[in-house]
A = this chain, B = another copy of it.
Amino acid sequence: MTSNSIFSMHIPTRILFGCGELKKLATEKMPGKKALIVISGGTSMRKYGYLGNVERYLKENGVDTVVFDKILPNPVKQHVMEAAALCRAEGCDMVVGLGGGSSIDSAKAIAIMACNEGDYWDYIPAGSGKGRAVECALPVIAIPTTAGTGTEADPWAVITNEEVHEKIGFGCPLTYPAISIIDPELMVSIPPQLTAYQGFDAFFHAAEGFIANCATPISDLFALEAIRLLYKYLPVAVKDGRNLKARAKVAWASTLAGMVESTSCCISEHSMEHAMSAYYPQLPHGAGLIAISEAYFETFRNDCMKRYMKMADAMLEAKSNRPSDFIDALVRMQKECGVYGIKLSDWGLKEEDFPKMVQNARATMGNLFTLDPRPLTDDEVLDIYRKSYR
């Protein structure tokens, strides 16, 4: 398998990266005059002062603010609709997503629903969605306080529709953030286990995008650098969350992996995980990915051997000569991050739900299966779930 020789790249986001860069909110040209700031229902954005700083910097820049603070870890459609209504009522002309992927993804979906009619699911082109065309969206500013989703450098928003158990990633050129500020200083307070879960989410964006059949020379460049940086620095950031150098390397790797999602694509590992957390919303996305990863990557080991060896080269900074070097390095990295051996049963998933999850993965994010190195059968998908069970 080699990269596609015909490809495109279009990442119009203005990316500002570095420790202390949050203060650029006070001086950069803003895309609006009144911002809806979208944060989680938790306490951390206030407790650590991030929300206060964002409000203050925006005020210094002449931008008024309104806060929506209900976003769940697996964000739901209901909150998107509620916040979009608030956005209209308050006359906001921009949306700031501050927090983890859930807040930023919600900000993108809210930016759509603040200027399109009907229900958010009307615009979703998969599952039970109706696939209506998105005509416009408010400009979004993404300020991640975690390193994992890469949503600051891609157009995707992953939202769950609880009524129909569908967790679907959707985006269009209008949902690229106008500006993304990645300030590693906002990430020092993430506890070790979450740091690991989120870092592995980034890792799998890169690894999946690298073995996807739509990989390109530009996505390869981003992916291998993300993989190299995460292998080297994620264990350091997990062990010492105040190590700003490690936090910065992991944050940059996550942004690079977001650019992989903009130039290549995730594959069925993400479809499978979305099906899991559509039924078990308490399961963190990264933990779900880690749980199925060993069985998942084993499945494709003989289908893209050169690419597995290239990923191993990047991780080990030495020449690999067997595809399983990649899987060995992945296991080693999980052990160093203290997250090896996560099983689906640990999170209360039930074996009898697996066939339903296979169907859900196909129905909601089936398109990603078409990007796999080779087509997987339903039995193979089921087998990956089973091997990851206990």
Contacts of A16 in B (CB 8 A): 8
- The CA-CA distance from A149 to B103 in the complex, in Å, is 41
0 or 1 for each of A2-45: is its CB under 8 Å from B? (1 = yes): 00011111111111111111000000000000000000000000
State whether A8 touches B17 (Cβ < 8 A).
yes
Which residues of chain B come closer than 8 Å to A12, judged between CB atoms? 12
Give the chain B neighbours of A18 by CB distance below 8 A. Answer: 5-7
Cβ-based interface call for A383 (8 A): no
Residue numbers in B under 8 Å from A217 (CB-CB): 252
Q: Does A202 contact B (CB under 8 A)?
A: no
Question: How many identical subunits does the complex contain?
Answer: 2
Q: At the interface, yes or no: A172 with Cβ under 8 Å from chain B? A: no
Give the shortest distance, in Å, between A219 (CB) and chain B (any CB). Answer: 12
Q: Which residues of B contact A19 (CB under 8 A)?
A: 5-6
- Interface size on A, as a range, is 20 to 34
Shortest CB–CB separation between residue A278 and chain B, in angstroms? 34
Instruction: For residue A59, give the distance in angstroms from its CB to the closest CB of chain B.
Output: 23
Known: A221-B221, A225-B221. A20 touches B8 (CB 8 A): no
How far apart are the CA atoms of A21 and B6 in the complex, in Å? 8
**A243 vs chain B, min Cβ distance (A):** 14
A107 within 8 A of B: no
Minimum CB–CB distance for A309 against chain B, Å: 15
Contact of A14 among B8, B15, B222 (CB under 8 A): B8
- Residues of B contacting A252 in the complex (Cβ-Cβ under 8 angstroms): 217
CB proximity to B under 8 Å, residues A215-262: 217, 221-222, 225, 248, 252
Identity of the chain B residue whose Cβ is nearest the Cβ of A10 in the assembled complex: B14
Cross-chain contact A15 with B8 (CB below 8 angstroms): yes
* Closest partner residue, chain B, to A220 (CB atom): B225
Given the interface contacts A10-B13, A12-B12, does A5 sit within 8 Å of B248 by beta carbon?
yes
Point out the residue from B5, B9, B15, B21 that lies within 8 Å of A15, measured CB to CB: B9
CB distance from A237 to the nearest CB of B (A): 15
CA distance A242 to B222 in the complex (A): 30
The answer to whether residues A11 and B11 also contact, given A217-B252, A252-B217 and a CB cut-off of 8 A, is yes
Instruction: Kindly state the separation between the CA atoms of A19 and B4 in the bound complex, as whole angstroms.
Output: 11
User: In the complex, are the beta carbons of A17 and B7 less than 8 A apart?
Assistant: yes
Q: How far is the CB of A133 from chain B (nearest CB, A)?
A: 13
Identify the 5 closest CB pairs spanning chains A and B, nearest first.
A6-B18, A10-B14, A12-B12, A9-B15, A8-B16
> Chain A interface (Cβ within 8 Å of chain B)?
5-21, 217, 221-222, 225, 248, 252
Known: A5-B18, A8-B15, A221-B221. 10 other contacts (CB 8 A): A5-B248, A6-B18, A7-B18, A8-B14, A9-B15, A10-B13, A10-B14, A12-B12, A217-B252, A221-B225
A–B complex contacts, Cβ < 8 Å, 16 sampled: A6-B17, A6-B19, A6-B21, A7-B17, A7-B18, A8-B14, A8-B15, A8-B16, A8-B17, A9-B14, A9-B17, A10-B13, A12-B12, A217-B252, A221-B221, A221-B222
